[in-house]
Amino acid sequence: MKPKILTFGEIIWDVYENDSFIGGAGLNFAAHCARCGAESMLFSAVGRDELGKRAIDFVNCFGMSCENIKILDKPTGQCTVRLDNHGTPDFCVIQDVAYDNIPITDDDVSFINRSYVDALYFGTLIQRSAVSRASLKKLLSSCTFNEIVCDINLRKNCYDADSVRLCLENATVLKVSIEEEENLRQMDMYAPSCDTPEAVCRAICEMFCNIKYLLLTLGGDGALLYCSKNGEFFRAQAKKCVVASTVGAGDSFAAAWISSYLSGKDAKEATEIANTLASFVVSKTDAIPQYAFCGGKIIEKRPMLQAHRGVSTDCPENTMSAFCAAAELGYEYIELDPNYTSDKVIVVLHDKSINRTARHPDGREIEEKINIADITYSQALAYDYGIGFSKDFSGEKLPTLDSVLCLAKEKGVTVKIDNKIEKFPDDVAQALFDLVEKYGSTVALTSAKVDTIKSYAARFPSAYLHYDGPVDDEVLRELSPYSDRLTVWLPHFSPLTSWAKVPFADEKLCAKVKQVAQLGIWLIGDTESYAQVCQKYSPDIIETTGAIKP
């Protein structure tokens, strides 16, 4: 089960000399938590301005919940950033912006308590205003968390002794950089016996007994973990890299550590994982570079992702909600199942009958078996295709293929149509082919037969071709003329695919496929399998239930 991590923090646009990037310690931390496999929730605020709209779009793309992001009549946060010759940033943070005025209501508190959040994260910058600091204190006093992660970010004119003390007195996990510690010590809140990292860790934890783990990042010297319970230290050595920018490195370190720790890693292993990610981030100019982080390993160039029946982990399968979610999250492909009604309307439904996914509008199951081919589209619309998944999706209607292809074309997503088309009556198949001609390169046609792929290639010169049948040297030779628009799919052996009657992926077969076509791997439902598949096979496309987000 994914750990749930709530971030109470800032959303800021970091404005460089020639570019701008969305950031802020809070957003950076939350985004890296999502990339590290946690269920990441961000509690923040943006303005009713263009930067605010762009910020919401970015948060959606990072796979985080936007439910607790307030939209206020204040400007969205901005910060000008200048880098010195070593890539170290100097920040100038604009005052009285949206994140300085985050409100929190009793409904917000109830929602968070109902969500059973594992960890809360906050830092010092979010406390610089009275409004947001008061909201944070209400959150701390009204909600329960297994862990509280605090990161000491001492920005000029944006902290005071009270904001630092709130971190130190509440944190169970404290992250401090060696540079920030020099300023922290001047506040006289603790007194190390000597000027060593180990003495600093002991002094802080002796003064603030709530801190279970202290993470002291040491720049080019790696990081030091201190466990206050047993007094043990663990040092993770720095990874060799060329530093492009240190912006976001500390945020990624904290995010990787708590995500790994809450996922069952011990504190030492979590520190090594965090150190690996931070080293990767400093080699990039972006605070949240493109990567996937699975099993403690970084996958920098991720494959394209295909959403199986839409984002079917989060939404009812084969519905407009599932397909819209896939487009908004940034999936490159949507996989769906075509079907048809008695009046020859091409719809999207996996089963022959509607019974598994449809319900009466009041949520009752449909007792009599109803095959979709035996009812009209108008009759099919009398049922609800979302309420059986969750009441949040009540009112979901059966989508037509035309409506899904229209959405996909608008959003720039390719739709892979499953090979059920081969069993359609001729007149229904022709209606589907008319849609293929209408939408062209938005469509990818699938078949398990080489001859059918050949006929699709001749008939639809702009459509993509996907083959998911038996694979051997002769099949690959016959398919090779279509390599410029062909994907060959192999199943990754797992409980999700054990029923498959085609060869499973292995390194030798995958290498052969990649010589003549794009390699697709299906069906991945967890991050460990995703990491394994990426590292062993280097696929071009991976089909996922929605457990893997772009």
Active site residues: 308, 350
The answer to whether the bond into 523 is cis (omega within 30° of 0) is: yes
- Tell me how far CA of residue 224 lies from CA of 177, 199, 221, in angstroms: 10, 12, 9
Q: How far is CA 468 from the centre of its chain?
A: 27
Identify the bridge partners of residue 216 per DSSP, sorted by sequence position.
176, 224
Residue type, 64: M
DSSP structural state of residue 423: G
Strand extents, DSSP E, 408-517: 414-417, 443-447, 464-467, 486-491
b (16+ CB within 10 A) / e for 23-45: bbbbbbbbbbbbbbbbbbbbbbb
515 near 278, Cβ under 8 Å? no
What is the rounded distance in angstroms from the CA atom of residue 1 to the CA atom of residue 4?
Answer: 9
For residue 157, the SS3 value is coil
Confirm if 94 and 79 have CB atoms less than 8 A apart. yes
Axis crossing angle, helix 25-35 with helix 249-262, rounded to the nearest 10: 40
Q: How far apart are the first and last CA of the chain?
A: 19
Q: Using an 8 Å Cβ cutoff, are 131 and 196 in contact? A: no
Q: Output the six-digit token pair for 287.
A: 């605070």
CA 217 to chain centre: 26
